[in-house]
Amino acid sequence: MNQDFNFSYQDKTLQQFERHPYPDAPLQDSPKNNITLLYQNSLITSYYRRYQRVISSLEDCLILDVACGTGYTTLILAEANPRAKIIAVDISPASLKIAEERLSYHGFDNVEYQVVALEELNQLGLQFDYINASDILYLLPDILLALKQLGTVLKPQGIIRSNLHSYYQRLSYYRAQTLFKQMGLMEGNPEEIELGIVREFFSALGDRVDLKLKTWGQQKPEEVKDETILMNYLFQNDKGFTIPQLLNFLKQSDLELFSMVNWWEWQLTDLFKDPDNLPVFLAMGLANLDLGEQLTLYELIHPNKRLLDFWCGRPYSAIKTESIKTTEDWRNIQVYLHPQLKTESFQQEVLSSSHLFPLNLKDYFPFLPQEIWLDRTLLTALFTPLLEQACSLHVLVQRWLAIRPVDPVTLSPTTEADAFMVISQAIMDQERLGIILLDQQL
């Protein structure tokens, strides 16, 4: 073990997770039908947001799941990245045993398990395309060293997904943790006695007391799970951070934030009543903000997220798809439907000839920030071929001409230029939503 990277957190953290392996999700629980989780954890999603390129096959990709716990995140990664090889590591042998049982139960044999601490990752002798380090950084005494360590096992174009607890959103929980430390409940590994004291304490508090209102609410003691108390009120080494602190950590680690994992929930303009009609000074100011400034302002105005959940990589200048404007630009572009969105229910809906009314895409893709209604004819023309394989713009334009040969209002023939305008605009709209991916064939 590198003595310069000696974590004092390990003893208490290991004790807590050996005693209460986390998460305590039942072995049979599966994320298979959770489209948002699979979409977020697909390397295809993050790689596209970083490089505007589509990974055609995950078979040669190597994924590291750091602090995998009982393996639910590993299971999500396995479901979201078929055929990729996964290395799952944790400091808790008890948790890893459950993780191995979980993945075996669900039929995955492409995962290797090792009792390895974050500071020992170099011992693996591997470089990874994707590193998942969820719910671990905020427990460490030196986040900067941890990020640098992750960077040493990251491929040049690899991606790290990690997160920090939000200081602003969890401030009330940190007040509770300070209180319970003063009461002596966190000197050792919290057990049944400490859990009982927490329940009794909140039961005794008045319903209008600030701490109870903001953390406990109206829950009855028996309704609050042990895991909830341990991971919030008695969480060893828990700390909160802000977006500027996160950006500073990454900069010093020679890493660069390129997107929040749930980026659709961080849209600054969504915080205003009428984002299209803002005061001039506000509209001009928002237009000139970079990503970090937008995120900073968002969390100051509306800190509603427990996690600052982010993707980062080595500094890179991305090519934006907005540069695709002309027919010539589109000549070498292949259009893809994100593979995690090719669900059975969406496929049945698209291929159903009995439905004529518009379709709300949010009913099938819940991560969308709002309801997105799509004309049934356009839906069929665009998505029917993409459910089978990637297509060129030319193929999709010709399909539109076959489906809509005449203008339904004027009855004049649909020209190829008209079809190009309709289909290219629809593609760009869906690309901005993260549904369609565009890749330039070199």
pLDDT tens column, 340-366: 999 999 999 998 867 778 999 999 999
Neighbours of 352 (CB within 10 A): 12
Q: Give the SS3 label for residue 126.
A: coil
Find all residues with CB under 8 Å of 423, minimum gap 6, and list them. Answer: 381, 382, 393, 396, 397, 400
Domain with CATH 3.40.50.150 in the chain: 3-168+240-313
- pLDDT tens digit sequence for 7-41: 444 555 555 555 556 667 899 999 999 999 999 99
Distance CA 231, CA 383 (A): 43
161 three-state secondary structure: strand
Encode 414-441 in three state secondary structure. Answer: CCHHHHHHHHHHHHHHHHHHCCEEEEEC
The amino acid present at 58, given as its one-letter code, is: L
Q: Give the pLDDT confidence score for residue 236 in this predicted structure.
A: 87
Q: What pLDDT digit, counting tens, does each position of 268-290 carry?
A: 999 999 999 988 988 899 989 99
Please report, for residues 92, 195, 297, the alpha-carbon distance to residue 190 in angstroms, rounded to integers and kept in the order given. Answer: 17, 7, 37
* Residue 118 near residue 87, CB atoms below 8 Å: no
> Residue 144: in which H helix or E strand, if any?
helix 143-152
Predicted TM-score of the model (pTM): 0.89
Please state which CATH number belongs to domain 3-168+240-313.
Answer: 3.40.50.150
CA angle (97, 121, 340) in 5-degree steps = 70
pLDDT at 189: 83
Q: 186, 197 in Cβ contact below 8 A?
A: no
Give the integer Cα–Cα distance in Å for 100 and 319: 40
Distant-in-sequence contacts of 176-183, Cβ < 8 A, 24+ apart:
176/211, 176/215, 176/232, 176/233, 177/233, 177/234, 177/235, 177/238, 179/211, 180/233, 180/234
User: CA 115 to CA 228: how far, in whole Å?
Assistant: 25
pLDDT surpassing 50 at residue 1: no
**Single-letter residue type at 149:** Q
Q: For 381-409, what is the mean pLDDT?
A: 94
Which pLDDT value is given to residue 9? 47
Per-residue pLDDT reduced to its tens digit, 161-176: 999 999 999 999 999 9
CB 322 within 8 A of CB 436: no
pLDDT digits (tens, 9 = 90+) for 113-156: 999 999 899 999 999 999 999 999 999 999 999 999 999 999 99
Question: Tens of pLDDT along 92-108?
Answer: 898 999 999 999 999 99
Between CA 47 and CA 37 the distance in angstroms is: 16
